[in-house]
Structure 1
Amino acid sequence: MTPTDDAPTLAVIGGGVIGSMCALAAADTGWHVDIYDAGPEYRAAEVAGGMLGSLGEGHPGESALLALSAESTALWPRWIERLGDPGIRTADDSLFVATTAADGEYLRQLADFVWSEQIGADRLTTLTAREARAQEKALTTRVHSGYLARGEGALDNGLLLSRLRAALAAAGVHWHRIRIDAIDEVPADQVLVAAGMGTAQLLPDITLIPMKGEILRLAPNRHSVPPPTHVVRGRVDGRNVYLVPRADRLVVGATQYEAAGPDDHLPQAGGVADLLADATELMPGLRTYDLVESAAGIRPCSADGMPIIERRDERTLVAAGHGRNGIVLAPITAARFADLLAG
């Protein structure tokens, strides 16, 4: 919808996936929108696996987050169509794999008592070791059992950010590369604070915990086995590791532990070593891949793990605290923000 001259104005502080999709949702309903973005180093989505499935967040005690993730995942196909580029999707399904009997029992309990509440039997298939390896032939012979989760896909986070930027420009949203230190600096009828860890600086009564997450990017060469076609989420001797295909490489992730601070962006040797060890244990052929990049991002986590999407006062709204789930939760965040904005 093209805004009229007298349309209300919205300032969005934060140009990551959350801020960008909320800005688009407002622009689509006729708002004049400006985004104030501090730069890529402040965006959690720059270092992400880009998984869209909800089951990866299906852990005991996190039923509310799983339900929200499932609701948001169902909205993603419409957003991919809205962005006009289905090529950003890099996988359609996820393969959950256990390497030991204990790991297999862990996945079974998740499937029976947690996942079953959010995904139908037609979308989740129990696999033997042989059936799991038939899905991805490069998997280790240590595979004990697994599950195929249909519709639990992934997208390329870098392409997503660029497509969002293009869609914002097409919708008439103005982009300002500047760091905002006080909400009063931005002139607008309404202000959305979606600045990741920077949110707590602008709204001091909001507490966010900086959690560090490391990922690796690997690229095949002429000696390499082909990359997987599924998202592979492995349980290796009690630890979790995921492999996410991209057009020309593979993303391996992810560690998660409390960061030294919001600017703690250097990968630690131990985190990189653990990811490489578990990834190559899960898929031994990855040993021939080239290590293109190791990176660390800061996940802004709320105290209870649930995102904070609310109105703070008559002018200010907030969308923050998404932790490791910013991409998967972006559509439901944009929908709830649009409802708040509409009153």
Structure 2
Amino acid sequence: MTPTDSTPTLAVIGGGVIGSMCALAAADAGWHVDVYDAGPEIRAAEVAGGMLGSLGEGHPGEGDLLALSAESTALWPGWIDRIGDRAIVTARDSLFVATTAADGEYLRQLADFVWAEQIGADRLTALRPREVRAQETALSTRVHSGYLALGEGALDNGLLLSRLRAALADAGVHWHRIHIDRVDEVPADQVLVAAGMGTTALLPDVSLIPAKGEILRLARNRHSIPVPTHVVRARVEGRNLYLVPRAGGVVVGATQYEPVDADDRRPQAGGVADLLADAVEVMPGLRTYDVAEVAAGIRPGSTDGMPIVERIDDRTLVAAGHGRNGIVLAPVTAARIAALLAG
């Protein structure tokens, strides 16, 4: 889009999934948009499983987050059409799996008292061990119980970022690879700060809490079992694990703990060891996969666990604090930013 004197201008600081989708929503609404991106090295979306379902965030005491995740998940099909490449979808449904009786009881209570409020009975089915393994034949015989959750899918985060960048270019959005130190550096009618942990440096009144997490990328070779067709979200003796299919491999995640500092993106041996041990406990055939990548990222969380999506002043907006839920919450965040820009 070629701007005119009457075209409103928006600067988006941050080129991750949140910033990119907000920029695309604004461009679609008639804004002339510039994105200022510091690069992939500090981008939380580079180290992500890409799950879209809401139930994985449905922990006790997080009802508001679960409801927001469900709202946003429902918006994703339209966004996939807007991005224009269904290859970014790597799974459509999830298996929630327990390996012990205690883990099974934990999932049952979630299903009965938390999940049931957000997902219909036609989309959530309790499974016995044999039925769980019928869905994914490579699962361990230690599987105690599980649930099949229809519509709880996943995206390839790397391909998503690439396709978003292409969609932005097609929409006339200008991309600048530069680190911004002050909001007033960028010329625009409105400025959206969506810079992850870098948001606090630009907006000191926005308080964010860093959470570090490791993930692994395993690549299938000719000796390996097939890639699973579902997202497998397992409970292993009280620990959470996910296995997310990718083209030719699996993403294994994710640990979560307080980092030494907000720039500490070095994977720790203990976290990697736990992920590998739990992964092969749930799906023993993953032993034959190759380790393609070990990575750690910093997720920007908020004090109450809910994302911070609001107007700061007449010129400045913020979209930050999404924690582990940046990809799943991106559509509802983009919709709210578009509404704030509209009035």
Question: TM-score scaled by structure 1?
Answer: 0.99
Contact 1:210 1:301 in 2 (8 A): yes
Q: Distance in 2 between matches of 1:299 and 1:67?
A: 21
What residue is the counterpart of 2:37 in the other structure?
A: 37
Secondary structure of the 1:304 match is coil
Secondary structure of the 2:146 match is strand
Unaligned runs of 5+ in 1: none
* 4+ residue runs over 2 A deviation: 1-6
Q: Are positions 1:214 and 2:214 aligned together?
A: yes
Secondary structure of the 1:12 match is strand
- Residue 221 of structure 1 and its aligned partner are, at CA, apart by 1.2
- Residue 6 of structure 1 and its aligned partner are, at CA, apart by 2.2
Secondary structure of the 1:11 match is strand
Q: Are positions 1:93 and 2:93 aligned together?
A: yes
What residue is the counterpart of 2:178 in the other structure?
A: 178
Q: Are positions 1:70 and 2:83 aligned together?
A: no
Q: Distance in 2 between matches of 1:299 and 1:146?
A: 28
Q: Distance in 1 between matches of 2:199 and 2:236?
A: 36
RMSD: 0.9
Q: Distance in 2 between matches of 1:222 and 1:339?
A: 50
What residue is the counterpart of 2:133 in the other structure?
A: 133
Q: Distance in 2 between matches of 1:236 and 1:284?
A: 14
After TM superposition, list the pairs within 5 Å mapping 1:235-314 onto structure 2. 235-314=235-314
Q: Distance in 2 between matches of 1:173 and 1:5?
A: 17
Amino acid across the alignment from 2:209 = I
Q: Are positions 1:107 and 2:107 aligned together?
A: yes
Contact 1:4 1:30 in 2 (8 A): no
Contact 1:3 1:30 in 2 (8 A): no
Secondary structure of the 1:169 match is helix
Contact 1:3 1:27 in 2 (8 A): no
Amino acid across the alignment from 2:146 = G
What residue is the counterpart of 2:143 in the other structure?
A: 143
- Residue 41 of structure 1 and its aligned partner are, at CA, apart by 1.0
Unaligned runs of 5+ in 2: none
Q: Distance in 2 between matches of 1:339 and 1:134?
A: 45
Contact 1:234 1:282 in 2 (8 A): yes
Amino acid across the alignment from 2:73 = T
- Residue 223 of structure 1 and its aligned partner are, at CA, apart by 1.3
Q: Distance in 2 between matches of 1:235 and 1:144?
A: 10
Q: Does 311-320 or 260-269 show the bigger shift?
A: 260-269
Contact 1:306 1:322 in 2 (8 A): yes
Q: Distance in 2 between matches of 1:42 and 1:268?
A: 17
Q: Distance in 2 between matches of 1:147 and 1:316?
A: 44
Amino acid across the alignment from 2:272 = V
- Residue 262 of structure 1 and its aligned partner are, at CA, apart by 2.1
Give deviations 1:170-214, integer Å, cap 9, x for gaps: 000000000000001001000000000000000001110110011
Q: Distance in 2 between matches of 1:68 and 1:134?
A: 32
**Identity percentage of aligned residues:** 83
Amino acid across the alignment from 1:252 = V
Amino acid across the alignment from 1:179 = H
Give deviations 1:10-60, integer Å, cap 9, x for gaps: 000000000000000110011110000000012100000000000000000
Q: Distance in 2 between matches of 1:239 and 1:211?
A: 17
Q: Distance in 2 between matches of 1:224 and 1:169?
A: 39
Question: TM-score scaled by structure 2?
Answer: 0.99
Q: Distance in 2 between matches of 1:189 and 1:2?
A: 16
Q: Distance in 2 between matches of 1:29 and 1:338?
A: 8
